[in-house]
Amino acid sequence: MRKIQVFTTSILLATLTVLGLPAKSLHATTSRDIPQKLSFELVEKTRGSTSHERVRLIVQFKPAAPAAINQLITTLTGKVTRRLDALNMHALELPLNAVERLAANENVRFVSPDRPVANFGHIESTTGTANVRVQTTTLPGGLITTTNVYDGNGVGIALVDSGIDTAHVAFRDQLGLSRVALSRDFTGENRTDDAYGHGTHVTSIAAGNDQIANGAYTGIAANAKLINLRVLDSQGTGSTSNLLAALDWILVNHDFYNIRVVNMSIGTAAIDSYRDDPLCQAVRQLTDAGIVVVAAAGNDGKDQNGGKIYGRIHSPGNEPSAITVGASNSFGTDARGDDTMATYSSRGPTRSFTVDDNGTRHYDNLIKPDLVAPGNKIVGSAAAGNYLLATHPELDAHVSSDNTSRMMYLSGSSMATPIVAGAAAIMLQANPNLTPSLIKAILTFTAQPLPGANTFDQGAGEINIDGAVRMAKLVRTDLSGSTALGAPLLTGPTGVKQTTVSGQTFDWSAGIICNHAYAVSDELITRYQKVYDQGLTLADGVIESPAGQIVDTNKLTDGVSLGSSAVTSDGGTIGEGMPFLNLSYLLGDGVFLPDGILVGDGIMVGDGIMVGDGILVGDATVRALSGDDTSCMR
């Protein structure tokens, strides 16, 4: 069972989801091919097994699998626990000794465990949101009038988490009505409130209003429509199948609720390659449908002694089409000059993998996260009577004793992720025709590289909502898949590639992440790139071979070039700074970082809940950590 983590607090959330299997010959696939269709964890466990132990699985099927697959499952004494028809998957239970026979069917694409999933909190000013919140126009005679308010109005954000306390003041509109348009439970507890407390906090960061403490804790898209999809139960635990069921529901219903953005401050160990991982496959289907998916990187960036760990990006943050978000530390100041990486934030490259017939692992090695956002000691809404605050009263922010306006502190990439989700909602309000790829490109191009952090720490850099919304407003609204490569992208001049927040001016990264490399050029924001078409990822503009990488001139313009090294930033653009690693190594396999650097292989370094200043509580152990405050981190 794969654990889904809430990247504020470690939380189990795993349930295997398996789609319908056609009941053709059980041996249509040769025995040699069976391991290729099984997750690494299942290969050794199932080989020659006679055990009748029942295991929970997620099964992915090939398109148009015959209806007779149900007969096959029955024959194998399996039980379908969840049908995910839109995703072409099922969650099911099956005897261990029948797993290989299931994988042998020619209509089965991949079988993986239903792994546990877990969860991962001044943001308005430091992210640059306040700069663009209200746009004004000066009329003849000097009269100033408000013309646009960028607050996510009309845009639907789906929060896939532990629920939302809909009675909290933070989620009301200006008329006092709830902005939560729908609540659904996928845990089986038949409740949609937030007994655990993580989802309410996350939601307020993405879209909390300004009606508490004179607007001191306003979220990013403060008037967005909210869709509450509860996949973590009262103890903050869940399963992959819970999460897949919510994503399947979104795929079917997104048009009706205008769901343009999905926030997942949760995740699970990234073991299977993104090409096989069912969560990654589901995320890709959502992005292909025009939905922006924002995922937490995780909080496994250091070991118990405070040493850096690379390669701990969680699933579905290892999916190329997702916007994967790490956590920075703003130290509670609006100015950005003191911002650094949070030491606990999970670093790339992704270490999910496939295994060949010889047992050799082939790692994905993608550059992740894509960008970072403030995630340390963030104040957000506290659900009434929630488990986290009841267990750790020191998290109370002491803003109010009224349960409908109470606030608390949390830290982790869980808190950073909804900042990016809220930014995407504001960008879509400013320009509803933006595709997921174009939103990702603008967010990374306008990000601020943090000095002293390398590409695997921060991706393109720290989010800059001021610059991102400025660019979103300039992008043409008549773009489509038929727009020619190199056509003008904007309706006006870009201006300087800089932003000023709280009196400090910084340069943009001026680049985008492309799986195993990064691309740079002003043409990325002045000319239309075919990788901005819906259904493509930014990495589709790069042709890769064992010998290296080159720009695909059918998808990126001639002026776009690829960087050759991951760098430790000097605070300039994405390609400036001290070389850290030649990016050609990402095309190979194995451990490739310099000597003395610890590289993980997707398996998490323990599970638990970060509480207080540097104390990790979880799995009946308490370990001291150095560095950032990690209050309920994950």
pLDDT tens-digit map of 416-468 = 999 999 999 999 999 999 999 999 999 999 999 999 999 999 999 999 999 99
571 pLDDT higher than 70: yes
Chain-centre distance for alpha carbon 526 = 27
Q: Of 146-155, 227-236, 587-596, give the lowest mean pLDDT range.
A: 587-596
Share of the chain above pLDDT 70, in %: 84
Chain-centre distance for alpha carbon 262 = 9
Catalytic site residues?
Answer: 161, 198, 414
> What is the pLDDT at residue 32?
59
> What is the pLDDT at residue 501?
87
Q: How far apart are CA 344 and CA 558, in angstroms?
A: 39
Residue 305 burial (10 A CB sphere; 0-12, 13-18, 19+): exposed
First to last CA, the chain: 19
Q: Of 77-91, 116-130, 517-531, give the lowest mean pLDDT range.
A: 116-130
> What is the pLDDT at residue 31?
59
Q: How far apart are CA 462 and CA 27, in angstroms?
A: 51
Confidence at 559, pLDDT banded by 50, 70, 90: very high
Higher pLDDT, 28 or 261: 261
> What is the pLDDT at residue 614?
27
> What is the pLDDT at residue 338?
85
9 pLDDT higher than 60: no
620 pLDDT higher than 50: no
> What is the pLDDT at residue 35?
75
Higher pLDDT, 575 or 461: 461
> What is the pLDDT at residue 347?
95
Beta bridge partners of 54: 95
> What is the pLDDT at residue 71?
79
Handedness of CA 545, 109, 119, 183 (dihedral sign): positive
Element (H, E) at 457: helix 455-458
Q: How far apart are CA 620 and CA 610, in angstroms?
A: 13
DSSP per residue, 45-70: HHTT-----EEEEEEEE-TT--TTHH
Q: What is the 3-state secondary structure (H, E, C) of 270-299?
A: CCECCCCCHHHHHHHHHHHCCCEEEEECCC
Assigned token pair, 616 = 């990790």
> What is the pLDDT at residue 27?
36
Assigned token pair, 356 = 């060949």
Q: Of 48-52, 100-104, 394-398, 550-554, give the lowest mean pLDDT range.
A: 48-52
pLDDT tens-digit map of 12-23 = 333 222 222 223
**Global confidence as pTM:** 0.87
Amino acid symbol at 630: T
Amino acid symbol at 144: I
Higher pLDDT, 515 or 65: 515
> What is the pLDDT at residue 24?
33
Share of the chain above pLDDT 90, in %: 66
* Mean pLDDT over the full length of the chain: 85
Provide the pairing of β-strand 225-230 with 180-185: parallel
Element (H, E) at 45: helix 40-46
pLDDT tens-digit map of 406-415 = 999 999 999 9
Does residue 340 sit in helix, strand or coil? strand
CB atoms within 10 A of CB 252: 11
The Cα-based distances of 57 to 17, 110, 240 in angstroms read: 6, 10, 9
Phi/psi of residue 181, each to 5°? -75, -25
> What is the pLDDT at residue 454?
94
- HSE-CB for 320 with a 13 A CA cutoff: 24
> What is the pLDDT at residue 135?
63
pLDDT tens-digit map of 480-489 = 999 999 999 9
> What is the pLDDT at residue 403?
92
Residue 505 burial (10 A CB sphere; 0-12, 13-18, 19+): exposed
pLDDT tens-digit map of 295-353 = 999 999 988 888 889 999 999 999 999 999 999 998 888 888 888 999 999 999 999 99
pLDDT tens-digit map of 509-557 = 999 999 999 999 999 999 999 999 999 999 999 999 888 899 999 999 9
Q: How far apart are CA 343 and CA 620, in angstroms?
A: 23
Domains belonging to the chain, first-starting first, are 17-113 (3.30.70.80), 120-634 (3.40.50.200)
> What is the pLDDT at residue 615?
27
